[in-house]
Amino acid sequence: MPYPVSATQQHSRCALCKKISMRDTIQLRTGYVCASCVSVKESRLGQICVQIIKLKQERPPSNIWGNVGVAIGVTFTVLCVLAVFIHYSLAFFLGFIAVWLYQSTSRKSERTNMPFRKTIAAKINRLCLEELLIHRQLSHIYEQYLGVPPDWLSRRAKIIERDGKCCRHCGRRMSGSRVPFHVHHVIPKAQRDGSHKLKNLILLCELCHSKIKEYGHDFIGRTRRKRLERRRVHTCGVGA
């Protein structure tokens, strides 16, 4: 759901298209962004992924050297089978000649297909660079979202992997623990500098997260806090 634009931001410019827009805008911590610009960038990412998959699945067109190699392989396979009934040394000699001819035709076929492969590689590289640029633009925008950013699940996975699946406060490990784990904002989201940047996120267990009483983090009520304390006594053997 797009955020409304306040009166102080009416003359600001979109962070992506640098144009002034008064409708379908998403308010950020600093300025705003057009919802249409974000949707266009996200749809373009999907198109790039599809194009890269199609380019990787493309095969070079058939050439004369490839056909010759297949014909040589089939012909000498039949000859080797027939030569076995005559003499094993003749079958070995024909097999050696077949391998040598097939390798020669394969190298020539690869040289013939080299321009096609270079063209495909150049297209994939251009698409990858465009994808990286769009990812950086959207990542910068998502970091300034007032609510939950669209890429929150991927950010959470990165934080869990970065912190080694352990609570940064007590060292509790996620594996084998019945206590849920949360991704905590070091600078609260309610503050101006409380962005969704990875350096502002850490992994905490629910017990440690419930002890934080800073502004914007007192979200656990009295009943829930007592339940967490009972769980801590049961799992850690430590009194409240």
Residue 65 contacts residue 110 (beta carbons within 8 Å): no
Does the pLDDT value for residue 170 go beyond 70?
yes
Question: Domain residue spans in the chain?
Answer: 64-116, 152-236
Q: What is the mean pLDDT of residues 18-43?
A: 84
Q: What is the sign of the dihedral through the CA atoms of 95, 97, 98 and 99?
A: positive
- In this prediction, residues 216-233 reach a mean pLDDT of 52
The alpha-helical segments, DSSP class H, found in the chain are: 35-57, 64-84, 88-143, 152-162, 206-210, 222-236
Residue 121: predicted pLDDT: 92
DSSP 6: P
Q: How confident is the model at residue 6 (pLDDT cuts 50, 70, 90)?
A: very low
Q: Cα separations (Å) of 65 from 76, 105, 115?
A: 16, 5, 15
Q: Taking the chain, what is the end-to-end CA distance rounded to the nearest angstrom?
A: 42
> What pLDDT score was predicted for residue 229?
59
Q: What is the pLDDT of residues 45-60, one digit of tens each?
A: 999 999 999 999 988 7
Distances (CA, A) of 222 to 169, 182, 208, 211: 22, 19, 15, 12
